[in-house]
Amino acid sequence: MRTRPLGTGGPQLAPLALGCAGMSDDTTPADETDAVATIRTALDAGVTLLDTADFYGMGHNEDLIRRALRPGDREKAVLSVKFGGLRGPAGAFVGIEGRPAHVKNALAYSLRRLGTDHVDVHRPARLDPGTPIEDTVGAVAELIRAGYVRHIGLSEAGPGTIRRAHAVHPIHDVQIEYSLFSRGPETNGILDTCRELGIGVTAYGVLAHGLLTGAYRQPAGGDPRAHWLPRLHPGHLAANLALVDRLRPLADARGITVAQLAVAWVLAQDRGHDGVVAVVGARRPHRVEEALAAAGLRLTDAELRTIDAAVPADAVAGTRYAAPLMALLDSERGPRPQGEVSAS
């Protein structure tokens, strides 16, 4: 796979990254043998970035990655770790924390669970409304100077916040939901800001929580995720699946799956210099192999125009998340004038 830089001066990455969250899902955890094999399959195939968080499975995910890494694997792997999601004993999220003391404490535990002396990218998962982003990023910058972190990332940050963070220390990556069903980064200034500042983008949710696999079917009794993912709600699902059906002839014409077409579309947004990397979640090795096929696809300009016409940016029914979760997303608050300070 051809590599691409994660921002100006950032590490060289394969265009696909492995999202490890599903391996530690609290309701349907993956078989650990499969999960370990999936991580190793990805690394052996040239995937470099492993995306995790200290709150995935309350530390289980980091422990799992440590067990999966064989001698020599750590040198190949770029470990991207999110922090700041607070959870109670029952697993529910109870808040967001970005104070400098928490940043350092969280990394200490992550290093122990991952069995490493540094992480490659450290990022707040969401923005703490009670802590200025300058303070959070400043704490990660101190950890860089101490040798415990290599690069700083952000997640779901809006343009104003990206600029404020970048003024404290170079940001190499912004993680954002970006897919054919989530085109917000194109219109809310996030992609433009990242391109201007030389910041890479790791796009997650590239398969729209399963809708863009082309194999999604509504479970009997409805999808339990619909209460926090409105696009899976019965009132929206039929319209969204109809959009997926528009992609099938395009995928068939290339002899690929709808999922591979959707991943290839995200990778095509890199345009050769932006550092867009697609984070693909997988729990079994064959899912990695399917995604890898998309990394080698090159969509023509005509195909990209046809895809855009089949799935217009404003045609998707329902918001990304339910209202309480949308309120946590700095990325959804729209662009703010440079220099304007937000409570989040």
Residue-wise DSSP of 112-132:
HHHT-S-EEEEEESS--TTS-
* Side-chain half-sphere exposure of 223, counting CA atoms within 13 A: 20
pLDDT confidence of residue 27: 67
Count: domains in the chain: 1
C-alpha 86: how far from chain center: 19
To which residue do tokens 């770029």 refer?
Answer: 78
Q: Is residue 222 part of a domain?
A: no
What does DSSP say about strands 171-177 and 200-204: parallel, antiparallel, or unpaired? parallel
**Average of per-residue pLDDT across 320-334:** 89
Residue 339 binned pLDDT confidence (cut-offs 50, 70, 90): very low
Residue 75 CB neighbours (<10 A): 7
To which residue do tokens 């796979």 refer?
Answer: 1
When the pLDDT of each residue in the chain is averaged and rounded to a whole number, the result is 92
To which residue do tokens 């999936």 refer?
Answer: 38
**Average of per-residue pLDDT across 5-32:** 87
pLDDT confidence of residue 343: 31
Q: Is residue 76 part of a domain?
A: yes
Q: Is residue 9 part of a domain?
A: yes
Q: Is residue 241 part of a domain?
A: no
pLDDT confidence of residue 9: 86
pLDDT confidence of residue 272: 58
- CA-to-CA dists, residue 152 to 82, 105, 124, angstroms: 10, 16, 9
Domain that holds residue 119: 4-210+266-298+322-333
Residue 220 binned pLDDT confidence (cut-offs 50, 70, 90): confident
C-alpha 52: how far from chain center: 9
| CA 72/CA 126 separation, integer angstroms | 32
pLDDT digits (tens, 9 = 90+) for 89-123: 988 889 999 999 999 999 999 999 999 999 999 99
Residue 26 binned pLDDT confidence (cut-offs 50, 70, 90): low
Q: Helices in 188-300 by DSSP H: which ranges?
A: 190-197, 234-254, 258-268, 285-295
Q: Is residue 261 part of a domain?
A: no
Q: Is residue 218 part of a domain?
A: no
Is pLDDT of 270 > 90? no
Residue 298 CB neighbours (<10 A): 8
Amino acid at 56: Y
- The verdict on whether 56 is a catalytic residue reads yes
Gyration radius from the chain CA atoms: 19
Is pLDDT of 338 > 50? no
pLDDT confidence of residue 330: 94
As a whole-number percent, the residues of the chain with pLDDT over 70 amount to 95
| CA 267/CA 261 separation, integer angstroms | 10
Is pLDDT of 157 > 70? yes
| CA 123/CA 197 separation, integer angstroms | 18
Q: Is residue 250 part of a domain?
A: no
Residue-wise DSSP of 52-66:
EETTGGGGHHHHHHH
* Side-chain half-sphere exposure of 55, counting CA atoms within 13 A: 20
CATH number at residue 10: 3.20.20.100
C-alpha 231: how far from chain center: 18
Q: Is residue 168 part of a domain?
A: yes
Q: Which of 56, 204, 216, 321 is catalytic?
A: 56
